[in-house]
Structure formats: C-alpha cells, structure tokens
Amino acid sequence: MMRNEVQGLFQKHGEEELEERRTLYRWATWKEGLPLSVAAASEKDLPLDVRFHEGKKIDFEGTLAAGMMDIALKRLYTLLSSWNSLEDFDQIFWGSKSALAKRVRQSWKEDDFFGYQFLNGVNPTLLRRSTSLPTRLVIPPELEGLQAQLERKLQEGCLFEADFSLLDGIQANVIQGERQHLAAPLVMLKMEPDGKLLPMAIQLQPPCSGSPDPPLFLPSDPSLTWLLAKAWVRNSDFQLHELQAHLLKTHLVAEVFAVATMRCLPGMHPIFKLLIPHLRYTLEINTRARTKLISDGGIFDQVVNTGGGGHLDVLRKATACLTYRSLCPPDDLADRGLLGIPSALYAHDALRLWDIISRYVQGTVHLYYSEDEVVQSDPEVQAWCQEITEIGLCGAQERGFPVSFQSRAELCHFVTMCIFTCTAQHSGINQGQLDWYAWVPNAPCTMRKPPPTTKDVTLEMVMATLPNVHQACLQMTIAWHLGRFQPDMVPLGHHKEEYFSGPGYKAVLKRFQEDLNTLEREIVARNEGLDLPYYYLQPSRIENSITI
Ligand SMILES: CC/C=C\C/C=C\C/C=C\C/C=C\C/C=C\C/C=C\CCC(=O)O
Ligand SMILES: [Fe+2]
C-alpha cells in the first residue's frame, strides 16, 4: 500500500475507535458545581478495561471487612471501661499502625509538632507566607504586644498563615440526631531560624458584625484551652485536606483527565500512550467514593462534621476557586511564598519531581512533535485540551486552564501537570492519612460541641467535643484502608505495559527511571539525618496512578 493509504487506514481506525469510546465513556453531572465525572451509577457500570482486577478487588473489600471487625471489637472493649480522658484514646489505638502514627500519639500536643504538619504533614497545601496581616485578624487592644510581634515577624519575612475561611458558612452535620459543629479558623505562625514553624495565635471563627470579636487563643493560655483551639484547627484541616486537597485536587481532576483521554485520544496517539498508565483504576476508585464515601449515608454523613451536604458545599466552593497554577508546584509554591525554605520538605521534593516528570514529558513529546506548528495542527490534542477545561472542569479557562496549546512548551507543561497530579501529588496527599489520622485527637473527623468562645475549658468539654468511640474507630479504619501500602502498587515510571515502540522512547524512559532513582537516594540519605523523616514523595512509594 502507498504511504497515504496506510495513513488513511490508521486515521479511519482512530475515528472508529473514538466513536466507540465516546459511547463507553460518557460525562455525567454527579452534583452541580463539581467537575464532571464518568457516567456510572456504580463500579459495575464501568467498562471492563478500567475495572479493578480480581486481586485488587478482593484486597480492597477484604481489608474493609477486616477493618469493620476491628471496630466491633474496639467498641465492645470500650464498653467495659471509662472514656473520659485523652489517654482513653489509647484503648482503641491498637491494630495495624505505622511508626510515625505512634510518634504522633507521643508528640501531638507539642507546638512545633502542630506547626510541622503545615509544612510536611498530610496537608502541605494550605500554608502561605504572609504578605500583610490578614484583614480577618482582629487583635484586641490588650494584646498590643502580640500585634507588635506579628508585625515584626511580617517585616522579617517569617510570618506565615493557614486560613480555613473556605469553611465559613458551611452547615454542620447531624449524626444520629446530634448536631455536630464546625469552625473556620485562622492560624498565625512564625518560622524560627532553625526552620521550626510555631503557632503564635489562633482565631477559630472570622469576625461577624453584630457579634463580639472572636477571641484569640494563644500558646500562653491554660494548656487545655490551647489544646482545644489546636484540635479545632486540626479538625478544620481534616476537612480541607480530604475534600479540597485530596478528593477535588487529585481524585476528581484525574477523573476529568481520564474521561477526556478516553473520549478524545485514539490508542495510537502519543499523548494517550504517555498518560494511560497514570489513569489506571482511577475511574473505579472514584465511582466507589461517590457510592460509599461522599454519598447519602456514606462515611462523611456517618462520622464527619462536614457530612450531610456541607461536604458537597465545601467541594463546590473549592471547585469554584480551583486554578491551573495551584496544580503546578513551581507556580503554587511561589504563590504561597514557600520557595527556598530548607525545612519545607514537601515543597523541596515536589519541585524535584516536577522537574523530573517535566523532562520525561518533554523527551517524549519532542519525539512526536518536531515544532510548535505540529502541536497547533493536531486536532485531537486540541480537542482533548478543550474537553478538559471547558467540559470536564466546567469552564475552568476563567481560572487559567488552557483551551488550546500554541506550542510544545504549553503542551508539555499541561501533560506534566496531569502526570504530577495523578502520581506525586496524590501520593503526597494520600499516604499521610496512615500516619497522621490514626491518633484521632491529632485530626478529629468531627467535633460534637461548638468551638470555645471563652478560655474556660475543662477536660469534660474536650472529651465531649472530640469524636466518640464509634466515630474515632471508623476514622482509624478508613485512614488505614486508604493510607496503607497497596499490595498491587506500581511505582512511578515502572508500569510493565509497553505502549511505545522504538528506541527513542526507551531512552527517555530509562533516563526518567534513573532520575527517579537519584532522587530516591537523596531522600533516603536526607531522611537518615532527620528527627521526622518525610517519605511521601520518595519515588519508590509514589504510585503510578490514583488507585485508592
Ligand atoms: C479518615 C478518612 C475519612 C474519610 C476519607 C476522606 C476522603 C478520602 C478521599 C478520597 C478517597 C477516595 C476513594 C475512596 C473510596 C471508597 C473507600 C471509602 C470507604 C469505603 C467504605 C465501603 O466501601 O464500605
Ligand atoms: Fe486517594
């Protein structure tokens, strides 16, 4: 056959393939205001190609069943004893847990441990370096000393903030007839010369006209008062971590990439071949999340204070402010003022991984696109881009997402963001659940009493506020279920399937694996010298796709 005929055949094949895929993978609006999802009422509706394999399914469902057994035993055990001091959480702190989880139990009350979590804990996405004193921060006249300290730290460039305003106005859940409660805190922190981040003040609610100004909680407050204020922050961080950083900014955006890739790119397209290993199992885990986790009567409704619909409003608000820059560490960390901080380990490792993935993407893209013009005139990749931004992300061009690619560099940047999100970012956000959420007082899934409005706090109040035994047990089980090492895990860059042929890609992949090995060794060596190791972005621990 002539070259043109061959090309014509390939093209026809690709068109037919896409026509079929568009009937198999359709968009659905699960809830208004969220990114679109794949049309599937349960995982059983998904095409076999993207279902969990038998081993994964058995492991997933088996560990959940085992976890439920643990809960039954723990509840039985605690029925026989008292539940009125913080140490009583020890009664349910058994079963599988990590070394770091045990360290959390030991150190959770310490201020530097509290501060550390904003840099290198389960949610390193919220902290920013302050560029002015936040307008919501109302400092009472008697605390002029604090005002001066804050201003000095600001001037020195070592003032930081964690602002949970997104939670303001969210309806709290009602669990078995009992109303739960939410706060929307602001934490001000200072960075010490040794890199430690220490809290200076906590405001639990934004000021509200007509009400007295909210109190500022301080490290110098009575220890239980300060501890309860910090527990409220940890509960708020749990919400933004799980809903904004985890579900929305990894799981749900990865699903948009997956559906658009299936609908727009034929199997022989280089971007399809590049991305497909990073989309494995994502449609099924997300479908399960929609039927079991954030569904009516799901885990959020059962034990989380944003459940009962508030969690969907948090997701909606977070979707409405989701920017392209926030998904790209070089931009995100610059915007948050977190570049060049030696103790910011997530930031450091994320930037290294971004560079490594970026080089891999560029190497591959340049094999198939010899110049910008080839990108501009590739209708499939352009349609893919538009489908993600305009359809899947519901008009995200307003928030910086591209609707077309004008150059190879723009295409590479976008594909790097896709792969980074599905691999490194998800691992960074997901694995910490195992370590930081097992000791429940460090990250309570719900709060059963309103936030304190005065500094009179008793142990009874603290215990009546923190999760009850059942809620705490379910949190531990789910955190273990989602955060534990996955037996069938494929590490980043190590999928067995070979989608590309030819020596060009082989060399690019080899280089990618070498770069990852180098980073692996750097992180291992760095961690040996640290009191608290940071290993969530160690390449051997990063999954090749979002599978849990
Ligand atoms: C302590 C953790 C509590 C909630 C976790 C919150 C958010 C996690 C975010 C994304 C996880 C995505 C998918 C997980 C999907 C389903 C597994 C969860 C529960 C399954 C319960 C069941 O199948 O009976
Ligand atoms: Fe996850």
What is the CA(110)–ligand 1 centre distance, in A?
29
Closest ligand 1 atom to 298 CA:
21
Phi, psi (deg, nearest 5) at residue 38: -75, 145
CA distance 388 to 486: 29
Q: Which residue, 324, 418, 323, is CA-closest to 365?
A: 418
Phi, psi of 21 (to 5 degrees): -60, -35
Rounded CA-CA distance 35/260 in Å is 12
Is pLDDT of 196 > 80? yes
Give 493-532 pLDDT, tens digit per residue. 999 999 999 899 999 999 999 999 999 999 999 999 999 9
Q: Which domain holds residue 119?
A: 58-79+86-541
| Residues 376-430 pLDDT 10s | 999 999 999 999 999 999 999 999 999 999 999 999 999 999 999 999 999 999 9
* 120 neighbors 344 (Cβ within 8 angstroms): yes
Cα distances (angstroms) measured from residue 238 to each of 117, 245, 360, 450: 12, 10, 34, 17
Give the closest ligand to the alpha carbon of residue 440.
1
Closest C-alpha among 419, 422, 425, 436 to residue 537: 425
State the distance from the centre of ligand 1 to the C-alpha of 294, rounded, in angstroms.
8
Pocket probe for ligand 1: among 478, 481, 547, the residue whose CB has the most ligand atoms within 8 Å is 478
Residues 6 or more apart whose CB falls under 8 angstroms from that of 446 comprise: 173, 175, 180, 235, 303, 304, 305, 467, 471
Integer Cα distance of 67 and 313 in angstroms: 29
Of ligand 1's atoms, which has the minimum distance to the CA of residue 61?
23
Residue 12 corresponds to which tokens in the numbers above?
A: 């026809």
Give 93-130 pLDDT, tens digit per residue: 988 789 999 999 999 999 999 999 999 999 999 999 99
Q: Which of 392, 374, 280 is nearest to 49 (CA)?
A: 280
Q: Which atom number of ligand 1 is nearest to the Cα of residue 437?
A: 1
The count of structural domains within the chain is 1
At 6 the pLDDT is 75
* Beta-carbon count within 10 A of 545 CB: 24
Please compute the mean of the pLDDT values over residues 69-82 and round it to a whole number. Answer: 87
Helices (H), 92-211: 99-107, 111-120, 144-156
Treating both helix axes as pointing N-terminal to C-terminal, what angle do 111-120 and 345-368 enclose, rounded to 10 degrees? 10
Element (H, E) at 190: strand 186-191
Which of 143, 136, 114, 119 is closest to 226 using CA atoms? 114
Contact 129, 163 (CB under 8 A): no
Q: Ligand 1, residues 43, 97, 293: which to mutate, most atoms within 8 A of Cβ?
A: 293
> Which ligand is the nearest neighbour of the Cα of 247?
1
ipTM value: 0.96
Which of the four pLDDT bands, split at 50, 70 and 90, describes residue 447? very high
pLDDT average, residue stretch 233-247: 98
Structure tokens belonging to residue 521: 């060794």
Which atom in ligand 1 lies closest to the alpha carbon of residue 445? 1
User: 276: CA distance to ligand 1 center in Å?
Assistant: 24
- pLDDT of 397 reads 98
Report yes or no on 232 lying in a domain: yes
Residue 503 counted as domain residue: yes
Torsion (CA) 215, 220, 226, 230 in degrees, nearest 10: 90
- Residue 199: pLDDT above 90? yes
Give 13's pLDDT tier (boundaries 50, 70, 90).
confident
Q: Quick one: average pLDDT of 268-281?
A: 98
**44 in any annotated domain:** no
Judged by DSSP in three states, 208 sits in coil
Residue 45 lies in a domain: no
Give residue 529's pLDDT: 95
Residue 51 lies in a domain: no
Q: For position 152, what pLDDT does the model report?
A: 98
Say whether pTM exceeds 0.95: yes
Would the pLDDT of 1 be above 60? no
One-letter amino acid for residue 502 of the chain = G
Pocket test for ligand 1, best of 295, 299, 430 (most atoms within 8 A of CB): 299
How many whole angstroms from 426 Cα to the centroid of ligand 2?
Answer: 6
* Of 73-82, 123-132, 150-159, 509-518, the least confident: 73-82
Which residues lie below 8 Å from residue 331, measured CB to CB, with a gap of 6+?
324, 325
Work out the mean pLDDT of the chain and round it to a whole number: 96
Instruction: Specify the pLDDT at position 77.
Output: 85
Assess if residue 355 is contained within a domain: yes
Query: From atom 20 of ligand 1, which residue's Cα is the shortest distance away?
Result: 292
Q: Which residues have CB under 8 Å from 172's CB, separation 6+?
A: 179, 180, 181, 182, 305, 306, 308, 310
Ligand nearest to the CA of 42: 1
Is residue 11 predicted with pLDDT exceeding 90?
Answer: no
Contact 197, 115 (CB under 8 A): yes
Cα of 289 from ligand 1 centre, angstroms? 6
Q: Which of 546, 252, 293 is nearest to 420 (CA)?
A: 546
Q: Tell me which residue has its CA closest to atom 23 in ligand 1.
A: 292
Q: Which of 438, 446, 422 is nearest to 482 (CA)?
A: 438
For the annotated binding site for Fe cation, the residues are 246, 251, 426, 548
Q: Which atom of ligand 1 is nearest to the CA of 443?
A: 1
CATH number at residue 247: 1.20.245.10
Cβ atoms of 92 and 74 within 8 Å: the answer is yes
Residues with CB under 6 A from ligand 1: 64, 242, 246-247, 251, 285, 288-289, 292-293, 299, 437, 445, 475, 478-479, 482
Q: How many CB atoms lie within 10 A of CB 476?
A: 27
Probe residue for ligand 1, chosen from 238, 471, 482 as the CB with the greatest number of ligand atoms within 8 Å: 482
Question: What pLDDT was estimated at residue 2?
Answer: 59
Supply the pLDDT for residue 78: 86
* Rounded distance from Cα 92 to ligand 2 centre (Å): 24
What number does the ligand 1 atom closest to the CA of 300 have?
4
Ligand nearest to the CA of 422: 2
Q: State the average pLDDT over residues 473-489.
A: 94
Neighbours of 252 (CB within 10 A): 26
Residue 3 pLDDT level (bands cut at 50, 70, 90): low
Q: 378 in a domain, yes or no?
A: yes
Ligand nearest to the CA of 243: 1
Is 398 within 8 Å of 431 (Cβ atoms)?
no
Position 208 scores a pLDDT of 93
Q: Which residue has the tokens 């994320």?
A: 350
Task: Ligand 1, residue 303: give the atom nearest the CA.
Answer: 3
Please give the annotated binding residues, written as ranges. 246, 251, 426, 548
Q: Taking the alpha carbons of 105, 110, 115, 120 in that order, is the dihedral positive or negative?
A: negative
Average pLDDT rounded to a whole number, residues 194-200:
98
For the segment 135-142, the average pLDDT, to the nearest whole number, is 95
Q: Whose CA is nearest to atom 10 of ligand 1?
A: 247
251 within a domain of the structure (yes/no): yes
The answer to whether the CB of 225 falls within 8 A of the CB of 452 is yes
Q: How far apart are CA 21 and CA 262, in angstroms?
A: 6
Distances (CA, A) of 372 to 214, 369, 378, 407, 412: 55, 7, 10, 4, 11
Decide if pLDDT at 212 tops 80.
yes
Nearest residue to 468 (alpha-carbon basis) of 311, 310, 302, 307: 302
- Mean pLDDT in residue range 182-199: 98
Instruction: Give a three-class secondary structure readout of 427-482.
Output: HHHHCHHHHHCCCHHHCCCCCCCCCCCCCCCCHHHHHHHCCCHHHHHHHHHHHHHH
User: In this predicted structure, what is the pLDDT of residue 10?
Assistant: 82
